[in-house]
Structure 1
Amino acid sequence: MWQAHLLYPFLFFFNRDEYTAEPLGWWEGGEILGVRDGEAGGTWLASSKDGRFAFVTNFREAECLPQAKSRGQLPVRFLQERP
């Protein structure tokens, strides 16, 4: 929602069904705000202190690849990079 709240100019709501290892909080040296995926350690929604945010949407695959990397690392890598 854009400019729908007096205090917060931008509200973003997101729903995922993964299990979290920790509640919402700052991690990665206090630079990333998000929750961690309890299985793979990544995240599906997070933001950084410099105002960037990243997310991945849900995607169901017909086949599971046991050695495949988690897509939850994509937001973490993006937020850790310095522009």
Structure 2
Amino acid sequence: MCLILFAYNMHPTYPLILGSNRDEFYHRPTAQAHYWEDYPQILAGRDLSKMGTWMGLTTGGRLAAVTNYRDPNEEVHGKGSRGDLVADFLKGTSTPEQYIQRAEQSRDHYLGINMNH
């Protein structure tokens, strides 16, 4: 199960501590959080298979994360990577509301996801 954790005003030096896990198969290669060479404004872990991410932020203050759920009856072939949703938002300039609205329209192109803004 994917989850996102945060602590607000719990540490004297760090007002916000944020973390998430990547709930995928162990054989799927990943890189730990780093500034991406191809998008140096993005700080995020990276799915090295599909080149997306499960959580990241930019030097300009954009933040995005995705959690998933598995539906054993859902058709998995031909679906896009959920990590593209996070990466595309971090690369873009649309507001969260605009991006969620567009993503909701293509929701069926991805396996089960939770989206909020």
TM-score of the superposed pair, with normalisation by structure 1: 0.83
Structure 2 counterpart SS, 1:36: strand
**Cα distance in structure 1, aligned partners of 2:50 and 2:71:** 17
| C-alpha displacement of 1:76 | 0.8
Q: Within the alignment, does 1:65 sit opposite 2:81 as a pair?
A: no
Q: Which amino acid aligns with 1:8?
A: Y
Match of 2:31 in 1: 22
Which structure features the higher share of strand residues?
2
The sequence identity of aligned pairs, in percent, is: 35
Shift of 1:64: 3.8
Please give the alpha-carbon distance, in whole angstroms, between the structure 2 residues aligned to 1:20 and 1:7: 33
Checking the alignment, whether the CA contact within 8 Å between 1:36 and 1:42 is kept in structure 2 is yes
Q: In structure 2, what is the equivalent of residue 33 of structure 1?
A: 43
Partner of 2:4: none
Q: Please give the alpha-carbon distance, in whole angstroms, between the structure 2 residues aligned to 1:61 and 1:41.
A: 23
Q: CA deviation at 1:20?
A: 4.0
Select 2:14's aligned residue among 8, 17, 29.
Answer: 8
Deviation at 1:13, TM superposition (A): 1.9
What CA distance in whole angstroms lies between the structure 1 residues aligned with 2:29 and 2:35?
Answer: 14
- The alpha-carbon deviation at position 8 of structure 1 amounts to 1.4
| Higher helix fraction (1 or 2) | 2
Over 3 Å off, 4+ runs: none
Gaps of 5+ in 1: none
Conserved in 1, the CA contact under 8 Å of 2:39 and 2:91? Answer: no
Q: Which runs of 5+ in 2 are unaligned?
A: 1-6, 95-117
1:42-61 alignment, distance < 5 Å: 42-61=52-71
Aligned length: 83
Contact 1:16-1:58 within 8 A present in 2 as well = no
